[in-house]
Structure 1
Amino acid sequence: MKSYKFKVNENGYTVNIKSHEDNVINLEVNGTSFDVIMSNEIKKTKTPRLVRSASKQPSAPLQTTPKSAKTKIIAPIPGTILSLNVKVGDTIKENDLLLVLEAMKMENNITAEKSGVVASIQVEVGQQVLQDAVLIELE
């Protein structure tokens, strides 16, 4: 309900619009109800619609790069390397223990996600690492 204040010939009027359907408005002027019929229909605004023209050239297919042959073992949380259980060239199986990472006074076993050969070790015992740091690469 909207409320308006009008002044006509130095007289004040409080107008409350109670409802509005099509061209009929129910309103109250200083406590008296009136139904007002408007001569012109109020145009309702429409939500704009986005229209796109067709593209001139078909889109080029995405170029896929060959997947890297190396799997990177990354630190899930920041911490300190307590022990390394593998060395470069070792063949490992899925779920083999690779290293132990201490974080917040807890020892976290870092295991292999898949089988492979240890290509490189990026950390040393006692080294502090940040989250998402590469620890070991597998081929």
Structure 2
Amino acid sequence: MRLKVTVNGVPYDIDVEVEEPEAPQLGAIVIGGGSGSIATPSTASVQATSANAVVAPLAGSVARVLVEEGQEIEAGQVLLVLEAMKMETEITAPKAGTVAKVLVDKGTAVQAGEGLIELD
């Protein structure tokens, strides 16, 4: 870089070399923990379901199954109840139809996105 500097009224042209400071490198960011153990990522797997399946909106366990195979259902009818963290969530039918297959039983642990009931 070229600078013009005036000292006691006398102008000087000076070439200046500017060194860029090295940017600090960030280390690993650890949130929580403290036990010193390293968490390893895992993947959850769920059963494949048909396009007509009613799926679990959250992970939990099946508290009650209120329908059976072959039963006619109305849109909005409660099909089963999931329990997660001491809270119950009613799973309702998205449309009217017939229950083709019940994929879970009372007490079954399910993951979010897992098929619960197939409709015709």
- Say whether the fold is shared (TM-score over 0.5): yes
Q: When the two structures are superposed, what TM-score results if normalisation uses the length of structure 1?
A: 0.53
Misfit runs of 4+, over 4 Å: none
CA distance in 2, matches of 1:72, 1:123: 12
Q: CA RMSD in A?
A: 1.9
Say which structure is richer in strand: 1
Deviation at 1:30, TM superposition (A): 1.6
Q: Which has the higher contact order (CA 8 A, sep 6+)?
A: 2
The alignment partner of 1:30 has SS state of: strand
Aligned partner of 1:103 among 75, 81, 84 = 84
| 1:126 positional shift | 0.9
Task: Look up the equivalent residue of 1:92 and give its one-letter code.
Answer: I
| Corresponding residue for residue 60 of structure 1 | none
CA shift for structure 1 position 121: 0.6
Aligned partners of 1:81 and 1:128 also within 8 Å: yes
Give the paired residue count: 80
For 1:78, the equivalent position in structure 2 comes to: 59
Q: 1:93 aligns with which of 71, 74, 88?
A: 74
Match of 1:130 among 103, 111, 115: 111
Using the size of structure 2 for normalisation, the TM-score is 0.61
The Cα of 1:131 is off from its aligned counterpart by 1.1
Structure ID, larger Rg: 1
CA distance in 1, matches of 2:61, 2:113: 13
Q: How does 1:3-42 map to 2 (within 5 A)?
A: 4=1, 15-16=2-3, 29-31=4-6, 32=11
C-alpha deviation, 1:125, in angstroms: 0.4
